[in-house]
Amino acid sequence: MQIQYKPKRSWLGTILHVEIIKGLSLTLRKLFSRPVTRQYPEEKPEIRRGFRGQHALVRDPQTGTSKCIGCMRCAVVCPSRCIRIRIHKEPATGNRRIIDCYRIEALRCVYCGYCEEVCPVNAIVLTEVFEYSSNDRPSLFFTMEQLLGNWDRFAAQLQGPVDEYVNPFWRPRGLPEHTLPAPKRLPVSREWSGEEQVVGKNWRRHHRPEQS
């Protein structure tokens, strides 16, 4: 390993403080140059589909309530344990699960998207909304009503119909379509579905020796 030491400063450089002058010259050059950072909030960033932002529960257009079926998978898979669900079963409806409480503590969330991927009915989503700061903690403890309201506001600003919205995290990356439940067999890009990834069968097909 070669160690290169800084050359010794001359007496003229010590008197004139050359390092300070160099630093000031750099500051002056950048002062009148064009900024490279986005001037937020005047310049809004381009948010792509699949951005993990504000939490929401998707509203079922038929029932008007959440699509959640109370399977508890999102709460189990959550690494930060920020999801709280309380359910009960009604014998009159064939022991169908009824959601009593669904809460998400957004301050603890790490926005990994596991809850989206594991949900069998695509009931939870991290929307593309990123501007939802607050001055108090209770407003970031989302209840079911708040989560449904988040979805309503997000759906109102979508460009197309709500039923055509597909979040990439609703379809787990790289899994074959036949292994997924019906609600998760959604149209996504070839890159997201794993068809363009050279792994598994694709890897063997690409590296199969040519038969003479």
Render pLDDT for 105-126 as a digit per residue (tens, 0 to 9).
999 999 999 999 999 999 999 9
Two structure tokens written together for 61: 């257009």
pLDDT at position 170 over 70:
yes
Architecture of domain 55-188: 2-Layer Sandwich (3.30)
- Tell me what pLDDT residue 192 has: 79
Q: Give the span between the Cα atoms of 66 and 64, in whole angstroms.
A: 7
**Which pLDDT belongs to residue 10?**
76
Name residue, tokens 């036949």.
Answer: 178
Q: Which two tokens stand for residue 210?
A: 């040519």
DSSP-derived secondary structure letter, 159: S
Q: What is the pLDDT of residue 81?
A: 95
Tokens of 16: 């004139």
What pLDDT digit, counting tens, does each position of 82-100 carry?
Answer: 999 999 888 877 778 889 9
Higher pLDDT, 20 or 11: 20
pLDDT at 66: 93
User: Which residue would you say has higher pLDDT here, 174 or 43?
Assistant: 43
Domain borders along the chain are 55-188
Q: How much is the pLDDT for 209? A: 57
The two three-digit tokens of residue 25, written as one number = 């010259």
Per-residue confidence at 43, pLDDT binned at 50, 70, 90? confident
When pLDDT is cut at 50, 70 and 90, the band that residue 212 belongs to is very low
Query: In angstroms, what is the C-alpha Rg of the chain?
Result: 26
Give the integer Cα–Cα distance in Å for 166 and 185. Answer: 10
Question: Mind listing the pLDDT tens digit for each residue in 18-35?
Answer: 788 888 888 888 888 877
Q: Above 60 in pLDDT, residue 9?
A: yes
Q: What pLDDT score does 20 carry? A: 84
Q: Closest by alpha carbon to 121, among 169, 170, 53?
A: 170
Separation of alpha carbons 193 and 180, rounded Å: 12
Selected residue with higher pLDDT from 211 and 41: 41
CA-based angle 54:55:57, to the nearest 5?
140
For residue 191, give every residue at least 6 positions away whose Cβ sits within 8 Å of its Cβ, in sequence order, or none: 197
